[in-house]
Chain A
């Protein structure tokens, strides 16, 4: 949802190691990030909070795989993604996923090695995939229209 960006961000993890100098938190074990309808789950992560802990500017998550889910605007369903690495830049509200990326939403399924997702505009941009080095986007066949009353008899 576009409104997600104006929501608070909550991050949890089993353990954390914070470097006060650089403002980088290393997160270890059952990492979860929630911001509005956006939910990202991973095994470990890094939270960047420069400037003496003013704001979280960036979050990098890694998992086997890391998973992301977000509601789409206008009740159009959910976008679900998974990748080896998810890099969420809060400033530009962009998520870059790398490593065996797979994104599914009602419009179809996209796979690639590197995909960037502009949350504000809901735009996805893929880059090189699988064996033949291309991004693959599969659009499911349109469901046949239900036959009208006269034709059905």
Chain B
């Protein structure tokens, strides 16, 4: 008899707990929609924009032309569309670069190029080289460039392919991963 009464009490308490849980779920407040965060709004934008970056000694180190630039507050970086860049070394044009988009640090010391990236030397360079990839980070001040994206290099009649690149232009050295070179018949 006592055992039945115990089971009866347990059933009542369990039912009461279930009912309470259901009521809580029924009347819980609607989850708040996350506040809408639109694209980062630039501080200001310029059309037909040109950016010239000078070193401390007054030498021009970077020259950028672009149809559109957005300058962002905070760290003051530039978002530049379809940039055409000239990277100089000791005041002399050394490299050219093109891309669909780029992000340039305010001091011009780091360029992130994205989309149809082309990083190439000038035609009169005795050792012309043409680097193509989808993403490349360039450090004009340090004369370096690097990517972990697949990269194609056209050098003379040879085509080189790799899965990553580290370029040091002060020593004229390139380090490539998963290296492939195709040299046409003589």
Q: How far is the CB of A44 from chain B (nearest CB, A)?
A: 12
B186 CB-CB contact with A under 8 Å: yes
How many A-B residue pairs have C-beta atoms within 8 angstroms? Tell me.
93
B59 CB-CB contact with A under 8 Å: no
On whether the beta carbons of B173 and A55 are closer than 8 Å, the reply is no
On whether the beta carbons of B176 and A20 are closer than 8 Å, the reply is no
Q: Knowing A16-B176, A52-B126, A53-B155 are in contact, say whether A11-B181 is a contact too (CB < 8 A).
A: yes
On whether the beta carbons of A14 and B127 are closer than 8 Å, the reply is no
Chain A, 1-52, CB within 8 A of any chain B CB: 5-21, 23, 25, 27, 47, 49, 51-52
On whether the beta carbons of A20 and B181 are closer than 8 Å, the reply is no
On whether the beta carbons of B185 and A8 are closer than 8 Å, the reply is yes
Interface centre among B162, B173, B175, B186 (most CB of A within 10 A): B186
Interface of A with B (CB < 8 Å)? 5-21, 23, 25, 27, 47, 49, 51-56, 90
Q: A15-B178, A53-B129, A55-B183 given. 9 additional CB < 8 A pairs?
A: A6-B185, A19-B173, A49-B156, A49-B183, A52-B126, A52-B127, A52-B155, A52-B156, A53-B157
